[in-house]
Amino acid sequence: VSASSALIAHVEARRADILDFTRELIAAPSPTPPGDERAVAHRVLHRLDGLGLTGSRTVGPRAERPSVLWTLAGTGKGRRIVLNGHLDTKPVGDTSHWLTDPFVATECDGQLYGLGSSDMKGAVAAMVYAAAAVRDVLGPLRGDVTLALTADEEGGCADGAAYLLEHQLVEADAILIGEPAGMTREWEWLYVVSRGLTAVKVRVYGTQMHSSISDILPSVNASTRMAWVLDRMARTFSIPAPAHPYCQQGVTVNPGVTVRGGVQYGVTPGYAEFGTDIRIPPGVSLDDVRQALDAFFIRLRSEMPDLQATWEFEPPPLEWMPPTEIAVDDSLVRAVVSAAEQVLGQAPPFGTFPGGTEAAFYQGRAGIPCLPAFGPGFLPICHGPNEHVGVESIIQAAKMYAIAAAQAAG
């Protein structure tokens, strides 16, 4: 506890610097697409140097996709802990819905507004200062403490987390990801499960011909057929999921997240397609999804015998991003619970992050236990206008990351 008090005091003394650093990160645009984290990575490297955290490096497949790595090397006998956050954001989209400049962090009523504030530049700033606190207050621990600040999370991770794994650049025994823990209020959940994802394309065929005679000659309009299939999927398609103590949400099906079809005015459409994303809780396999889709299409053909429609999984990685789950008695989870009790007064309940995270790679592919989301901010306002994060939450995050990393690697 005395170590925790010293870490808390270290962070508290740097409150203004942490917020200033968050503002700097927000001022360095890093939208994916197109995907260019050079400016924001440069700010991080500069800040690490300024804090005396030397030896950081950038890695990535191309100059414009840097991920930043820094390690406080341990004395060799402890668990290797990674604090992981992503440097990119979604594109800003229509700025007319923003009340402030999305690249000028603006404080109002205890909230800091700006693109990437919740998702997740506030958490990145907190992680950097947590690492500085651990280094300054405790020095080397038994295990390594590593900062992995990644590119390309919003674009599917190929140039970020997946690249790091392929090139053995992340060696870890447990990873804490700082995606936002808030749904309706901050620090609402301690997410131990991250749902998976699969993406399905449905193709529907018709009769392409001169549209002026579609009521004279027998023909099938692929677009209206597709609309029927889409509607049937929205109304009647579901996949059962087994009960799970920390995941109440089950499977979420979103038919028609993409829709495409037809040729031009004057042409009866011969082809139309739509995409469906399916969010996967623990206990549901790719084979379960396949069987449910096959059964659904058999049902459709019994209702419409001349239906010509097929379905397929999208190519990897969208074919299957597995759900992940860290054991609640994992020492990293216990360290985060303890840190939350010390900083927030009590630990939030265990829960399930509704979306995918880099845990699908770190844990799904490489088997490294991942706490998928424990960070400042709110998920519902991410990827939209007027994104914001609680100022106090960023400071709390830095304190909790420092205490948790020190305990888990110590």
Q: Is 269:282 a contact under the CB 8 Å cutoff?
A: no
Q: Which stretch binds Zn ion (CB under 5 A): 112-120, 229-237, 258-266, 274-282?
A: 112-120
Neighbours of 310 (CB within 10 A): 11
Q: Is 281:353 a contact under the CB 8 Å cutoff?
A: no
Q: Which lies closer to Zn ion via its Cβ, residue 8 or residue 130?
A: 130
Q: What's the CA gap between 177 and 66, in Å, rounded? A: 18
Q: Which stretch binds Zn ion (CB under 5 A): 117-125, 188-196, 288-296, 368-376?
A: 117-125
- Who's near 306: CB < 8 A, 6+ residues apart? 220
Q: Which lies closer to Zn ion via its Cβ, residue 120 or residue 409?
A: 120
Local structure of residue 321 (DSSP, 8 states): B
| Distance of closest approach, residue 206 Cβ to Zn ion, in angstroms | 40
Q: What's the CA gap between 104 and 112, in Å, rounded? A: 10
Local structure of residue 244 (DSSP, 8 states): B
- Who's near 205: CB < 8 A, 6+ residues apart? 220, 222, 270, 271, 308, 309
x/- letters, 174..213, toward Zn ion (CB under 5 A)? -----x----------------------------------
| Distance of closest approach, residue 146 Cβ to Zn ion, in angstroms | 19
| Distance of closest approach, residue 359 Cβ to Zn ion, in angstroms | 12
Beta strands in 269-373 (DSSP E): 271-280, 309-313, 324-325, 350-353, 370-371
| Distance of closest approach, residue 347 Cβ to Zn ion, in angstroms | 22
Is 88 annotated in the active site?
yes
Q: Which lies closer to Zn ion via its Cβ, residue 81 or residue 157?
A: 157
Provide the CA 148 distance to its chain's centre, in angstroms.
Answer: 14
Determine the residue with CB nearest Zn ion: 119
Q: Which of residues 43-82 bind Zn ion (CB under 5 A)?
A: none
Q: Which lies closer to Zn ion via its Cβ, residue 36 or residue 387?
A: 387
| Distance of closest approach, residue 120 Cβ to Zn ion, in angstroms | 5
Q: What's the CA gap between 374 and 84, in Å, rounded? A: 10
# binding residues, Zn ion (CB under 5 A): 3
> Phi first, then psi: what are they for 157, rounded to 5°?
80, 0
Q: Is 157:317 a contact under the CB 8 Å cutoff?
A: yes
Local structure of residue 409 (DSSP, 8 states): H
Which of 24, 119, 152, 153 is labelled catalytic?
153
Which of 36, 88, 154, 186 is labelled catalytic?
88
SS3 210: strand
387 binds Zn ion (CB under 5 A): no
| Distance of closest approach, residue 227 Cβ to Zn ion, in angstroms | 33
| Distance of closest approach, residue 157 Cβ to Zn ion, in angstroms | 11
In which order are the strands placed within the sheet that holds 67-72?
57-59, 67-72, 145-150, 81-86, 174-177, 370-371
Q: Which lies closer to Zn ion via its Cβ, residue 74 or residue 102?
A: 102
Which position among 24, 36, 37, 119 is part of the footprint of Zn ion (CB under 5 A)?
Answer: 119
Q: Which lies closer to Zn ion via its Cβ, residue 113 or residue 296?
A: 113
x/- letters, 135..174, toward Zn ion (CB under 5 A)? ----------------------------------------
Q: Which lies closer to Zn ion via its Cβ, residue 78 or residue 182?
A: 182
Beta bridge partner(s), residue 150: 86
Neighbours of 136 (CB within 10 A): 16
Contacts to Zn ion by CB under 5 A: 119-120, 179
Residues labelled as active-site residues = 88, 153
